[in-house]
A = this chain, B = another copy of it.
Amino acid sequence: MSLEPDLQNLCENLANQAQAASRTLAAITTAQKNEWLLAAAEAIEAQCDSIRAANDSDVSAARLTDMTTANLDRLTLTPARIRAMAEGLRQVAALPDPVGEIREDAVRPNGLRVQKIGVPLGVIFFLYESRPNVTIDAAGLCAKAGNAVILRGGKEAVHTNRALHAILERELVNAGLPAEAVQLVPTLDRAAVGLLLKMHERIDLVIPRGGESLIRRVAAEASMPVLKHYQGNCHVYVDEHADLAMAERIILNGKCQRPGVCNATESLLVHAAIAGEFLPRLGNSLREAGVEVRGCPRTAEWISEAKPATDADYAAEFLDLILSVKVVTGLSEALEHIRRFSSKHTDAIVTGDPGTAREFAAKVDSAAVVVNASTRFNDGFEIGLGAEIGISTDKFHARGPCGLRELTSYKYILTGNGQIRV
């Protein structure tokens, strides 16, 4: 007996229902979408206890595995975190609707009016790992942008995700919207992912969020566009004209404020002319903050406990309190190092010289270039998008933080009064 046809049917049904729901969602009003978001927020808070009960099953099961403490923490929902999920939905409700937004509006010399109007992408397949709050964030953002979403969370969060999805679904129905606007893949069989990734006729975009291996697998298998970044190996280059106190603050913030995220600072390049003044004081601060330094031989001259850095260290996204450091002869060597090792996510310069800042910003080919601020600012909320579904390091469609507008496309509406071409 083969289960394959059943799984194929199940996935096709999911995708077909999502597509049907996406057509309904594309046509509803902003008010209807916001009503659902606010009702779902309310319901999440009201059902805090049952969500925690479901989460307890996941956390108890996870404790029996080799899950790290950090991941156990990510999996755990506290009342504060549940309130934060509800708050997130309220924030999305408050954001402007990108659907129907008039992006361009011009009249041609022949009187033809040319309008470019925001429209949903259609169906989004969203894959993610342990943090269950992503279930709520992703559903809210996708639906507000008029898209149906198929969610596939990690198996370690399965009870939590099912409880959260049940609330979203119930509130969709209460709001008169199609229940299939937000679906959760009902099986943990990984083969279902492979099948869905081939359904480009029904699924318009896939967004994987999690470890690099998940994202590489999705990108290799998907037959539809993928919104993604693999890594955030983010650099800070401290130029000879840098305010060194500012540089120190920016590096400590980038490295330590939240080391496990993609826009954390992973690698430091220091201009040789200020290395002797800067590295000893930075070394002290890093030591106090518990940061392990892996440096080039010249780094070790100033930070005695620095371990020797290999190319693998310069290429690494540590996601931990580890920093690779290299002393460079100047901007050219810094740019060359960044070209070789950067993951094109976020790279920063600290300098008081505007010309150097401009050259760095022009020549670094990364989604975000930061001048005199922490790499941690490459974030949808921080740059003003209100919220983000992820950060893209690709150049096609959207690059950098992706918010509601990046979850949409557009159509042209050409309005005339009988114009023909001559």
Contacts and interface: CB of A to CB of B under 8 A. Distances in A.
A417 B374 CA distance: 10
Q: How many copies does the complex hold?
A: 2
Interface in A381-422: 382-384, 395-397, 399-401, 409-422
Given A372-B417, A374-B420, A378-B412, A384 B106 contact: yes
A253 B411 CA distance: 23
Interface string A364-376: 0111111111101
A373 B418 CA distance: 5
Interface in A339-388: 357, 361-363, 365-374, 376-378, 382-384
Nearest to A385: B114
Interface in A95-142: 106, 108, 112, 114, 119, 121-122
A121 B362 CA distance: 14
Contact of A369 (B121, B254, B378, B412): B412
A414 B371 contact: yes
A27 interface: yes
A205 interface: yes
B420 A249 contact: yes
A106 B385 CA distance: 12
Contacts of A73: none
A420 B250 contact: yes
B108 A411 contact: no
Interchain residue pairs A-B with the least CB separation, the first 3: A373-B416, A395-B409, A253-B420
28 contacts: A106-B384, A108-B384, A112-B373, A112-B377, A119-B365, A121-B396, A204-B395, A243-B418, A249-B420, A250-B420, A257-B421, A357-B415, A367-B411, A368-B414, A369-B414, A371-B413, A371-B416, A372-B417, A372-B418, A373-B414, A373-B417, A374-B421, A376-B420, A377-B419, A377-B421, A396-B396, A396-B409, A400-B411
